[in-house]
Amino acid sequence: MREPMRIRQAGLPERVTIWEVGPRDGLQNEKALVPTEVKAEFIHRLVDAGLPVVEATSFVHPKWVPQLADAEDLLRSLGEAGRVHPVLVPNERGLDRALELGMQHIAIFGSATETFARKNLNRGLDEQFAMFEPTVARARENGLDVRAYVSMCFGDPWEGDVAIEQVVSVGQRLLDLGASQLSLGDTIGVGSAGHVKALVGAFGEAGVATDRLAVHFHDTYGQALANAHAALEEGITTFDASAGGLGGCPYAESATGNLATEDLVWLLQGLGIETGVDLERLVATSVWMAGQLGRPSPSRVVQALS
């Protein structure tokens, strides 16, 4: 299989962690329900391809995300190994479900804007922290690691531009609650390279080191890879991505697919940055999943190599 020519760029990290969100973020917006056994096979294939972190599912109420209503069945089918996969939880009830299954890693999802907090969480911008506080506290008391997603960090379809200082304030409050890492989401894909650098820099000025930050880009305007490169230049070493470019946010209609994991791996390999991912196996996995969904993958690398 063709691979990019590797040329190291001075000043970039030697290794990055890819946080694979395909089974959760990638499938949550599918119109048709994906069978549990297909999801389990998808996760197995992603792990076999070398993805170090594979986010499995969400404990959001099935009424809101029916595509992930089989969360317990899926995790039980994965056996003991399934406990290491992160799961998204919205509140204490979601945490209860995670604890019952012995999960080791959870993620909460906050908003950088008032409007999206109302639409996604039925809480105001400030009210969301009161909901998260007991969830994070109990999770940490039970030895779980907690990640925090922050949506609408680069722009909001209802409010427009989002002030950088507002994003930093929300992020700091989530870290103060006990989150170990923030994933900064460009939920509708409007971010640009300069904006990425400015936001990461602002967190640094506020005392938040890059090892506590991750980035989560969508490719709505074709900027996801450029933004990923800008984040690399700022020292970011954790990148969210979705195999085959699957996904989007069900509460933001302008949110198209996530940054494709294959496209990100091609960029990183070309820069001589280690990921531990077997690109050939990953492409084969996305081709297989595209067959299950009945449509081709939007990933340019998958298209080129398959």
- Helix ranges, 89-163 (H): 92-100, 114-121, 127-141
Residue 233 tokens, joined:
């230049």
Return d(Cα 125, Cα 45) in angstroms, integer: 38
Maximum Cα–Cα distance across the chain: 51
Beta strand pairing call for 213-217 and 105-111: unpaired
Q: Are 192 and 151 in contact (CB under 8 A)?
A: no
Return d(Cα 91, Cα 218) in angstroms, integer: 25
145: β partners? 105
**Is 153 a residue of the active site?**
no
Quote the crossing angle between the two packed helices 164-177 and 127-141, to the nearest 10°: 30
Q: Long-range contacts of range 135-139, CB-CB < 8 Å, 24 or more positions apart? A: 135/89, 135/91, 135/92, 135/94, 135/95, 135/108, 136/108, 136/177, 136/178, 136/179, 137/177, 137/178, 138/92, 138/95, 139/95, 139/98, 139/106, 139/178
Distances (CA, A) of 18 to 31, 92, 132, 210: 26, 28, 25, 15
Q: Look-up: residue for tokens 């639409």?
A: 119
Distances (CA, A) of 62 to 116, 163, 176, 187, 244: 20, 33, 30, 22, 25
Residue 125's φ and ψ, nearest 5 degrees, are -55, -45
From the list 249, 252, 277, 290, the catalytic residue is 249
User: Which residues are known to be catalytic?
Assistant: 249
